[in-house]
Structure 1
Amino acid sequence: MKRIITIAVTMLAVAGMGLLSSCSTNGPSTESGLTKETLVKKFQEELIKVKPGSVLELPEGKFQFDNTLSLNISNVTIRGKGMNKTILSFSGQKAGSAGMLVKANDFTIEDLGIEDAAGDALKIDGGTNITIRRVRVEWTGGSKEKNGPYGLYPVTCKNVLIEDSVAIGASDAGIYVGQSDQVIIRRNKAEKNVAAIEIENTKNADVYENEVTNNTGGIMVFNLPDLPVQGGGMVRVYNNKIIANNNPNFAPMGQTVYNLATGTGMLVMAVKNVEIYKNEIRDNNSAGINVVSYLSASSAAEIKNPNYNPFVASINIHDNQISGSGKEPDSRLPKWEALAKAAGKPLADVIYDGIVEPAGGKPAKVEDAKICLENNGEITFLNFDGAGGFKKISRDMKPHKCTLPALAEIKLPQSSATKAGGGM
């Protein structure tokens, strides 16, 4: 039986007095006389001394923190009363690189909001069996460069479930999973971020039934060279709504996503074995889906990691509804401005750089990459000849009339669990 620690505050007139309920397995007991500020301190203390198997329950209210909340104990649940009812605010944060930093296994956080962190809102580093459920992360001042880079941020984790959550205003990615294995991201909403959802150097991931709108870019699946974990892939992206992601890019210069074109529905870069299907992708001003090698962004000489493969291949794009793409490509970026001049507007629903991995040291044909387009209706297509500087642009889809086998469903130990929610 889990040990439940209920941290509760009860407002009595204007006195701001509260209750801390601490309990054993037999149920809660209470002690009174806590101010709201003391309650905040008690919560910080509980994160340090909490026992494995405990549930920390927070009441409705907005609670102010000025430094990072850290948890290093495994098998702990943190639970509020709803993502808009229990709010952890870091608007006056003075210390720490995140709102909450977790280095533990078997961690669940649900039914609360995290606002205005100085850095990342919720970072989970190196954990196994991680569940983020009905959590809202937000920078409440709008889309600003000073906002923290990542909202929900599991990195080097295994068995990650992010569901029914909301991410708003991150200056890099609202929902980011990096260098991880076995991931499900489902039924979330992301808006006003630079990137809504990023799957970076991660393998075996399902991304489905999410709504991403009014970001700079929607869903990104890619591998980068300068990371210890390589070989991301085996990713399914399906049944998502990726609509009108045309929010101007507000990432600080120097971040990778600074070069993300405003109006990108999906970016698929330097990755293999990705299946994209049954999505609604519309009204993204640069491209619906942009499929590229890393060599479209950097030269081979800049890649120092010998284990990194910069090419994109085995991308199965089928049974999607894609429309209204490429009407106003991002003129902020010189390459996109040059592409618009070379190809004309609109660009296309699906664009591809045409850079193919050599076979046996010899040039390969575009068909060999297996960038497959099937049953997507009357979509438009553009191979923009990234290697040749847009000189041999083609709109011929025939080399991409191919079929790839379906990828396997991701199943997690915690993914079938359905718990009563704390509401919005």
Structure 2
Amino acid sequence: MKFIGYCALLLLFASCSETLEYNPERNFSDQQKSILTSFILAKDSSTIDLPEGHFKFDKSLILEGRIHVTIKGQGKDKTILSFKDQSQGAEGIRVANCENITLRDFTIEDAAGDNIKVTDTEGILLEDLIIGWTGKVDSTNGAYGLYPVLCKNVTIRSCTVFGASDAGIYVGQSDTVLIENNTTYWNVAGIESENSKEVIIRNNTSYENTGGILVFDLPGLTQYGRNIDVYNNNVYENNTPNFAPPGNMVGVTPPGTGILVLATTGVQIHDNIIRNNKTIGVGMVSYALLEAMGGEENTGGGGSREELERQNELDINYDPFVGDIKVYNNTYENTYLLPYLGNDFGKLFLLKFGTNLPHVAWDGLQSPNYFLADGSINPNYAICVQEAEGIKSVNLDAANEFEGLEENPAIFNCN
């Protein structure tokens, strides 16, 4: 009878599976040749004016080696670029080796890979764009909606991004980044900063993703991340089942995650509204723990996770631990009684906490340099949590099979 009662409880509070689908009405006209030509012939300090209408492309639009170019539509609801029939290239728009480029006021849909990819560019503004995939949201969708990588002085503002099988808004290995006033939903990760420095993520709304906001450092890349400030964001109902293709590192993100910090130092998380993320509001974990607890649904071989594991062994300077994290003055609410149970994190939380789930959790894995010679905590590894009374924070003590798990630990009290 106890077993039957327990199963009934799980069924009662389990979230019903919902098909996420977007099928807008489109009336396409053929402007591919003229728009492709405008990209090819674009000169420095010029504007590419995209006309009003719905246009289909079978190849990428590429801008390379240009300075001070604006790509502008007639409005994000008026200029629609579709790559649903793409047969050449992986991106919708690709910008490479440029300087001071602006893209604004249009929609891009259904690229085979990334809807907009920007590489090796200094000065990029992505503003007032709608970026997404039509039809059912699943692992066949492209990886990234907006994807600046190896860039400097990046601004992503007032964009709406949905349907990405990795991250809706992603910045990788980039310096001086501002992500503000955006809306992300139906992605695996709503917003992700990976191995990037001097990043501000503010005033965004991230909901109905697997994870709302991710701050990751991974091995084997050109730089490590630091100095990330995450504040004034509305992060809620990020409970979508993880639909990343098997093998992708983001596939280990637990559904029901508000904000997740992985192996990164120098992160502030403050003044956010974090509501109804079923598993955890704010999580801070080492690279080893997230990889180990990914769950069976995302353990496919041959993907990027296998390569990352190899790079972790080769990258002697990579630090897999979180440190110098400050979590304060956030607002939390969780009306769900149970975490998401299709992932090892959710099962652990149910086992350890029942229906009294924590709002903030650190895995407790400590660097060999966690303590200084005088026995005090190394400030490079301090985890500081200063939230209102009644907010539950935990040290999971993962290194000791969670035996020393501690609620509201004194080590979180930093000056």
TM-score range, shorter chain: 0.7 to 0.9
CA distance in 2, matches of 1:215, 1:361: 37
Determine the structure 2 residue equivalent to 1:269. Answer: 262
- Note if contact 2:372-2:378 (Cα within 8 Å) is conserved in structure 1: no
Give the alignment partner of residue 209 of structure 1, picking from 194, 197, 203.
Answer: 203
1:136-155 aligned at under 5 Å gives the runs 136-155=130-149
Determine the structure 2 residue equivalent to 1:256. Answer: 249
Q: 1:293 Cα shift?
A: 1.4
CA distance in 2, matches of 1:367, 1:114: 46
Q: 1:338 Cα shift?
A: 3.4
Determine the structure 1 residue equivalent to 2:54. Answer: 62
1:396 maps to a residue whose letter is: N
- Note if contact 2:162-2:187 (Cα within 8 Å) is conserved in structure 1: yes
Q: 1:222 Cα shift?
A: 1.4
| Residue 370 (structure 1) aligned with residue 382 (structure 2) | yes
CA distance in 1, matches of 2:356, 2:33: 56
Quote the sequence identity (%). Answer: 39
Q: 1:94 Cα shift?
A: 1.4
- Note if contact 2:215-2:264 (Cα within 8 Å) is conserved in structure 1: yes
Determine the structure 2 residue equivalent to 1:222. Answer: 216
1:185-334 aligned at under 5 Å gives the runs 185-227=179-221, 229-298=222-291, 302-324=312-334, 327-334=337-344
Q: 1:367 Cα shift?
A: 8.0
Q: Which has the higher helix share?
A: 2
Determine the structure 2 residue equivalent to 1:388. Answer: 400
TM-score, normalization by structure 2 = 0.84
1:81/1:377 CA distance change after superposition, 3 Å:
farther
1:151 maps to a residue whose letter is: G
TM-score, normalization by structure 1 = 0.82
CA distance in 2, matches of 1:88, 1:298: 37
Higher Cα radius of gyration: 1
Q: Deviations over 1:55-107 (max 9, x none)?
A: 01112211100111111023211001111111100111112111111102211
CA distance in 2, matches of 1:257, 1:355: 20
Q: Deviations over 1:328-373 (max 9, x none)?
A: 3332223542343134334311011011212399997778632111
CA distance in 1, matches of 2:330, 2:205: 15
Q: Secondary structure at the match of 2:127?
A: strand
Q: 1:251 Cα shift?
A: 0.7
2:45 maps to a residue whose letter is: G
Q: 1:327 Cα shift?
A: 3.9
CA distance in 2, matches of 1:102, 1:342: 48
- Note if contact 2:370-2:378 (Cα within 8 Å) is conserved in structure 1: no
Q: 1:36 Cα shift?
A: 4.2
2:42 maps to a residue whose letter is: V
Q: Secondary structure at the match of 1:303?
A: helix
1:318/1:338 CA distance change after superposition, 3 Å:
closer
CA distance in 2, matches of 1:218, 1:292: 16
Aligned Cα RMSD in Å? Answer: 2.2
CA distance in 2, matches of 1:309, 1:349: 26
- Note if contact 2:259-2:281 (Cα within 8 Å) is conserved in structure 1: yes
- Note if contact 2:62-2:94 (Cα within 8 Å) is conserved in structure 1: yes
CA distance in 2, matches of 1:71, 1:376: 49
- Note if contact 2:173-2:224 (Cα within 8 Å) is conserved in structure 1: no
Unaligned runs of 5+ in 1: 1-15, 17-34, 404-424
